[in-house]
Structure 1
């Protein structure tokens, strides 16, 4: 069987599974690179001819090209998924990609936001007009709900309820996150100003809209977050949706009011081990606070 034919069939399988356009694009790019490498560098076109040595050689090439360990691991997950599917479809006897050793990803402690910094970024925007109010609501929701960039951009107005939000996450998996009274107060003001601003304009169903009434783009969201960080005077930290997600997770863990399993569900992680990585990112001061609050003697 031609490797190219198997790839084409697998992509339709992924499409049927409901993978996001971004995931499909990443898969196509990676499989294209692998196909070109196998054909031009190893002289391989048939699926059955691919060996563990070919895949190991491909990983080494990525390393020589300067690709970081985390990027190599992420890239190879897609390759493993393809060969796993080939095994299930009985196109191959086994998933040869399982035997490929990957570089170890160094464990880095993310220099996350403090409570004061997050408050400063929320306060960096006012209620003086629609755009300012929208930006304040976006920053507040990121901090209070821990949503991914694609999730907050994709939130629909009908899914923002009285005390919760129905979120469409990775792989089109739905989950519910909760609205605190503090966030609710901001959202009420946002909804009122949004209604006044678009009173005679046709808009999309997105909860957060651009000034023209369409959904906001990934670049626009990134610019909003960068602007919040700049106005708040935050330096030396990554200003991104993921850093807000990290802030949300760490605050939940530090408070001690939620367990890792429940947090995993709120974050939309398919595997609890992904959530556990946030435990490793807690700094010494946060760990000390958590240790003191959970001390047996302190709770007598």
Structure 2
């Protein structure tokens, strides 16, 4: 995202600084909140009769003041959500993110900076999000993905994919890895909220890193970044969007482009494989994935079809057979005899 924060009013810039430095949110999260709050500010200005002749996407928000924000009501928030639902066809998940941005911002205004007397959005409800089983690659698809990696930076791209499929790390965690974070068979990751955790590297990961390091040395020789593990052709730290493009291209080469897989789906794949084939305890999986809440991890531990089939077959009632036709007939005839007596 290319966001010009200079175009934002000071009250918003202060909020972004707060969630980035004090709350430890990632820059991607800050950028996402910035886009959502920009939309709300434009809606607010238009609703109050300002910039009525201006295209919505062109409305400047640098004129938003604390006094204007003090006039916001719960109804304004719901009208905004209705507006984005009709005009932008936002999905419930997207609207839920917008609600989170609004609630966080007004909590900051009322409870942290004390710029407003009370929080008008305390009762703002998050739209219901349909829960469905996330997509993940099968073992065969994982093999196909890894076996079709080629190109100028094959060793680097293979190493990236191997770490994603084996360690279950987030994209932001992958691109922030430094060489110094690797110590023997462990890797230190910096997760959400600047929380560090240690994950173990299996043989596949160690071999992929070993094969990539000579390539990295050549890239680093012409660049300025001496710390980052994964470098681009300019010798600087590889970006998140570039990794997404690499994975997208690899999926296409492996004939998997039509399934809607992504970098995040590789994280889910790693968790699913560890849970199903490694019989990993859910709390251990929680630590590996870096989840603050166990409930979040449960999304990654859906039961496989084989497990469901095994569960149904294992019940003590699974071997019972219906009575034979002869037995049923005899039983009915006995009942008729009793009635005729």
| TM bracket, shorter-chain basis | 0.7 to 0.9
Equivalent-residue separation in structure 2 for 1:145 and 1:203 (angstroms): 28
Residue 130 of structure 2 is matched in structure 1 by 106
The C-alpha deviation readout for 1:89-124, integer Å capped at 9, x for no partner, is 344555432312333211222332001111221122
Please give the secondary structure, in 1, of the residue aligned with 2:143: helix
The alignment status of 1:84 with 2:107, answered yes or no, reads yes
Give the C-alpha shift of residue 73 in structure 1.
0.3
Decide whether aligned partners of structure 1 residues 94 and 200 sit closer, same or farther in structure 2, where only a CA change above 3 A counts.
closer
Cα RMSD of the aligned pairs, angstroms, is 2.8
Answering whether residue 176 of structure 2 is matched by residue 154 of structure 1, we say: yes
- The unaligned stretches of length 5 or more in structure 1 are none
Alignment of 1:1-300 (within 5 A): 6-17=11-22, 18-42=24-48, 45-65=67-87, 66-89=89-112, 90-92=114-116, 94-125=118-149, 131-195=153-217, 197-198=218-219, 200-204=221-225, 205-255=227-277, 257-280=279-302, 282-285=303-306, 287-288=308-309, 291=311
1:131 Cα deviation from its structure 2 partner: 0.7
Displacement after TM superposition at 1:203 (Å): 4.6
CA distance in 1, matches of 2:293, 2:216: 37
Structure 2, unmatched stretches of 5+, are: 1-8, 50-63, 317-341
Measured in 1, the distance between the counterparts of 2:257 and 2:222 equals 39
Aligned-partner Cα distance in 1 for 2:279–2:157: 29
Q: For the residues of structure 1 that align with 2:120 and 2:188, how far apart are their CA atoms?
A: 39
| Structure-2 separation of matches of 1:215 and 1:5 | 31
What's the counterpart of residue 57 of structure 2? none
Whether the 8 Å contact between 1:42 and 1:54 is mirrored in structure 2 is no
CA-to-aligned-CA distance 1:207-244 (integer Å, 9 cap, x gap): 11122322222332122212221222224312311110
Q: 1:24 to 1:114 in 2, by over 3 A?
A: same
CA distance in 2, matches of 1:49, 1:5: 18
Most deviating of 9-18 and 56-65: 9-18
SS at match of 1:38: helix
1:87–1:94 CA contact under 8 A, matched in 2: yes
Q: Which deviates the most, 226-235 or 75-84? A: 226-235
Distance 1:74 1:54, change over 3 A: same
Which of the pair has more CA radius of gyration?
2
Q: Secondary structure at the match of 2:199?
A: strand
Structure 2 contact 223–234 (Cα < 8 Å) conserved? no
Question: 3-state SS of the aligned residue for 2:122?
Answer: helix
CA contact (8 A) 1:153 1:216 kept: yes
Structure 1 CA distance, aligned partners of 2:39 and 2:219?
Answer: 46
Alpha-carbon distance between aligned partners in 2 of 1:216 and 1:55, rounded to the nearest angstrom: 38
* CA-CA distance at 1:202 after TM superposition: 4.1
TM-score where L is the length of structure 1? 0.84
**Residue range with higher mean Cα deviation, 239-248 or 47-56:** 47-56
Residue 156 of structure 1 deviates from its aligned partner by: 0.8
Does the 8 A contact of 1:168 with 1:174 survive in 2?
yes
Moved more, 46-55 or 160-169: 46-55
1:199–1:112 CA distance, 2 compared to 1 (3 A): closer
Scaled by the length of structure 2, what TM-score is found? 0.75
1:245-267 residue CA offsets vs partner (Å, 9 max, x unmatched):
11011112213532223222221
Higher relative contact order (CA 8 A, sep 6+): 1
| Count of matched residue pairs | 288
